[in-house]
Chains A and B, each alone.
Chain A
Amino acid sequence: MKKGLFAGVFLGLALLVAPAAAEEPGVIRLGAAVSLTGKYSSNGAFTRKGYDLAVTKINEAGGVTVAGKPYRLEVIYYDDESTPARGAQLVERLIQQDKVQYLLGPYSSGLTEAIAPVTEKYGVPMVEANGAAISLFRKGYRYLFAVLSTTDEYLRGAVDIAARLSDDPAKLRVAMAFENDPFSQDVRDGVLADMKRHGMKVVVDDKLPPELNDMSATLSKVKALRPDLMLISGHDKGASLAIRQFADQRVNVPMLALTHCDSARIAENFGPAAEYALCAAQWASTLTYADDLFGSASDYARLYEETYGEVAPYQAAESSAAVQVYADAFERAKSLDPEDVRNALAETQMMTFYGRIEFDETGKNIAKPTVLFQVQDGQYVVVYPEEFAEAKIRWPTPPWSER
Chain B
Amino acid sequence: MNRLSDWHIMGVLAVLGLGLPFLAPSLITQLSFLWLMVVFALTWDMLGGRMGYNSFGNIVFFGIGCYAAAIVQRDAGLPYFEALALGLVLGAVIAVAAALLFGAALLGIRGHYFAIGTLGLGITAAEIAAGWDYVGAGSGMALPLYPGALGARELFFCYALFAVAIVCFLSLRWLYGTRFGLALNAIRDDQDKADAMGLRTTQIKVFAWCVAAFFLAISGGLAANMIGFIDPRDVAFAGATFGVWMVLMAILGGKGTLWGPVLGAVVFHITQELFWTYLLGWQRVALGLLIVVIVVFFPQGIMGWIAERRAAREGARP
Determine direct contact between A and B, CB below 8 Å.
yes
Which stretch from A26-34, A57-65, A177-185, A299-307 is at the chain B interface? A177-185
CB-based contact A182/B280 at 8 Å: no
Which of A37, A117, A209 lies at the interface centre, i.e. has the most chain B CB atoms within 10 A of its CB? A209
Which of A121, A181, A184, A209 lies at the interface centre, i.e. has the most chain B CB atoms within 10 A of its CB? A181
Known: A121-B150, A185-B137, A185-B139. A180 touches B280 (CB 8 A): no
Interchain residue pairs with CB less than 8 A apart (30)? A37-B280, A37-B281, A38-B281, A81-B276, A85-B29, A89-B26, A113-B229, A117-B145, A118-B150, A121-B150, A179-B138, A180-B131, A180-B137, A180-B138, A181-B138, A181-B139, A182-B138, A182-B139, A182-B140, A182-B231, A184-B138, A185-B137, A185-B138, A185-B139, A186-B139, A207-B130, A207-B131, A207-B137, A210-B138, A210-B233
- A-B contacts at CB below 8 angstroms, number: 37
- On chain A, the residues within 8 Å of B130 by CB distance are 180, 207, 209
Q: Is B308 an interface residue (CB 8 A)?
A: no
- On chain B, the residues within 8 Å of A186 by CB distance are 139
- Which of B's residues lie within 8 Å of A, judged by CB? 26, 29, 127, 130-131, 137-140, 142, 145, 150, 229, 231, 233, 276, 280-281
- Which of A's residues lie within 8 Å of B, judged by CB? 37-38, 81, 85, 89, 113, 117-118, 121, 135, 179-182, 184-186, 207, 209-210
- Excluding A182-B231, A210-B233, 9 further A-B contacts by CB distance (< 8 Å) are A37-B281, A38-B280, A38-B281, A81-B276, A85-B29, A89-B26, A180-B131, A180-B138, A207-B131
CA of A38 to CA of B281, assembled, Å: 6
Specify the main secondary structure of chain B where it touches its partner: helix
CA of A262 to CA of B98, assembled, Å: 46
CB-based contact B127/A209 at 8 Å: yes
CA of A179 to CA of B145, assembled, Å: 28
A112 to B: closest C-beta gap in Å: 13
B101 to A: closest C-beta gap in Å: 25
CA of A210 to CA of B126, assembled, Å: 12
**Smallest CB gap from A114: residue in B:** B228
B297 to A: closest C-beta gap in Å: 30
CB-based contact A81/B231 at 8 Å: no
**Smallest CB gap from B29: residue in A:** A85
CA of A85 to CA of B150, assembled, Å: 14
**Smallest CB gap from A88: residue in B:** B29
CA of A184 to CA of B130, assembled, Å: 13
B12 to A: closest C-beta gap in Å: 27
CA of A180 to CA of B150, assembled, Å: 33
- On chain B, the residues within 8 Å of A209 by CB distance are 127, 130
CA of A210 to CA of B29, assembled, Å: 29
**Smallest CB gap from B26: residue in A:** A89
- On chain B, the residues within 8 Å of A181 by CB distance are 138-139
CB-based contact B280/A81 at 8 Å: yes
CA of A185 to CA of B29, assembled, Å: 29
- On chain A, the residues within 8 Å of B280 by CB distance are 37-38, 81
**Smallest CB gap from A122: residue in B:** B150
Which of A81, A118, A121, A180 lies at the interface centre, i.e. has the most chain B CB atoms within 10 A of its CB? A180
